[in-house]
Chain A
Amino acid sequence: MSGTTTVARKRITGKTLLETTSKETAGEYEAPRLAVPVTPERDHIEGAVKAALTLVEYGDYQCPYCGAAYPEVKKVQKKLGSELRFVFRNFPLTNIHEYAMNAAETAEAASAQGKFWPMHDFLYEHQPTLGNTSVALGYARKLGLDGQKFEREIAQHLYQKRIKDDFMGGVRSGVNGTPTFYVNGIRHDEDAVARALIEGLKQT
């Protein structure tokens, strides 16, 4: 993750540590799998709904590593075109990112008016402005959204349950930080860069 985990990966699952001391070579490492299947009725999907390849991201709008991964995902989408569907799920780390929940609610409120992806992209492209809610509101109006409804739904935390459901689904899938990607349902433990993501998508 985040360019810090580039070591050879092998682990022994279910090993009793008390029985072993130094040998850590037996058994192949198996990355966790997505516990919540992609559902077109619920998920935010960009690209062909029935595409052969699926990239799922659990992300936090305030996380700088997610911000860094954002253009990488765009590259992956450009390269794979109609072969790929990209799914974004919320994983706001509210204990360290004070604006993450509000940003997630902002994107969901835009989604309610059919504009999830433009708002998702806008938030990642304007990460430094997340503390100032008038910026996203201005963009919502520019998109032609009903600004009053948009603001009200965010203030009423109408989508917080959905966001928390995303979060817990992520926890059960082995999300261990943000961003966490799944390539065709398997956690991507390599770097969050286009080359590695494309490789992962084509290999699994």
Chain B
Amino acid sequence: MSLNDFRGQPVILAFYPADWSPVCTDQLSLYAMVMPEFKKFNAELLAISVDNIWSHLAFVKDRKLNFPVLADFEPKGGVSRKYGAYKERIGESARALFVIDDKGVIRWSHLSPDGINPGADGILSALENLNKAQTTEKS
């Protein structure tokens, strides 16, 4: 899977530390609930962590996730590193969000502190701004 596959539509990249976080709703369960709102912007969400594919499959099934969850497993953290979203010391992706526009340009990014779930409001605002910018360009 390549970002180029999604050219022509906004993409949300959500790097996160690990599957199976021990809170009631983790960040990704929330995104599964908010998915219809993301879809209003024709946006695709891709979640990424260093967990392997088997962990991801079980996680996706358990949490009923409705978007692709990618394994940054081999080479470990390779994609996360390219986005400056890798924590070398602990060997996990940071909790980092990117909104990429239809031409593949990063328009918004956000890094959460350890243990803080960023929610979905920042993503929705970024998608709205993207829409506004495109409307202005066209007119």
Answer whether A and B are interacting partners. yes
How near does chain B come to A79, taking the closest CB pair, in angstroms?
25
Interface pair B24/A176, CB less than 8 Å apart: no
Main secondary structure of the interface of B (DSSP, over half): loop
**B113 CB contact (under 8 Å) in A7, A14, A94, A174:** A7
Interface pair B33/A177, CB less than 8 Å apart: no
Within 8 A of A (CB), among B56-110: 63-64, 83-85, 94, 96, 98, 106, 109-110
A5–B124 Cα distance when bound, in Å, is: 24
**A2 CB contact (under 8 Å) in B24, B33, B116:** B24
**B29 CB contact (under 8 Å) in A1, A6, A65, A93:** A93
Instruction: Check: A80 CB closer than 8 A to any chain B CB.
Output: no
Interface pair A95/B23, CB less than 8 Å apart: no
Interface pair A21/B111, CB less than 8 Å apart: no
Instruction: Check: A145 CB closer than 8 A to any chain B CB.
Output: no
Instruction: Check: A127 CB closer than 8 A to any chain B CB.
Output: no
Interface pair B63/A20, CB less than 8 Å apart: no
Closest chain A residue, CB of each to CB of B120: A171
**B117 CB contact (under 8 Å) in A1, A21, A66:** A1
Instruction: Check: B114 CB closer than 8 A to any chain A CB.
Output: yes
Q: Which residues of A contact B52 (CB under 8 A)?
A: none
Interface pair A1/B111, CB less than 8 Å apart: no
Q: Which residues of B contact A14 (CB under 8 A)?
A: 110
Q: Which residues of A contact B46 (CB under 8 A)?
A: none
How near does chain A come to B25, taking the closest CB pair, in angstroms?
4
Instruction: Check: B134 CB closer than 8 A to any chain A CB.
Output: no
Closest chain A residue, CB of each to CB of B62: A96
**B109 CB contact (under 8 Å) in A16, A94, A173:** A16
CB-defined interface of B17-43 with A at 8 Å, one 1/0 digit per residue?
Answer: 000011111110110111001000000
Interface pair A176/B118, CB less than 8 Å apart: yes
How near does chain A come to B3, taking the closest CB pair, in angstroms?
14
Main secondary structure of the interface of A (DSSP, over half): loop
A79–B41 Cα distance when bound, in Å, is: 45
How many A residues have CB within 8 A of the partner chain? 44
Instruction: Check: B8 CB closer than 8 A to any chain A CB.
Output: no
Q: Which residues of A contact B63 (CB under 8 A)?
A: 95-96
Interface pair B116/A11, CB less than 8 Å apart: yes
**B98 CB contact (under 8 Å) in A1, A17, A176:** A17
Interface pair B37/A171, CB less than 8 Å apart: yes
Q: Which residues of B contact A18 (CB under 8 A)?
A: 83-84, 106, 109
Closest chain B residue, CB of each to CB of A24: B111
Interface pair B114/A95, CB less than 8 Å apart: no
Instruction: Check: A12 CB closer than 8 A to any chain B CB.
Output: yes
Interface pair B37/A32, CB less than 8 Å apart: no
Report the 9 A-B pairs with minimum CB-CB distance, sorted nearest first: A176-B119, A176-B117, A5-B115, A177-B25, A17-B84, A174-B119, A11-B113, A65-B24, A174-B121
Binding site for A on B (CB under 8 A): 21-27, 29-30, 32-34, 37, 63-64, 83-85, 94, 96, 98, 106, 109-122, 124
Pull 15 A–B residue pairs with CB atoms less than 8 Å apart, ordered by A: A1-B23, A5-B116, A7-B115, A9-B116, A17-B96, A18-B83, A18-B84, A20-B84, A29-B113, A65-B23, A93-B29, A174-B119, A174-B121, A176-B120, A177-B26
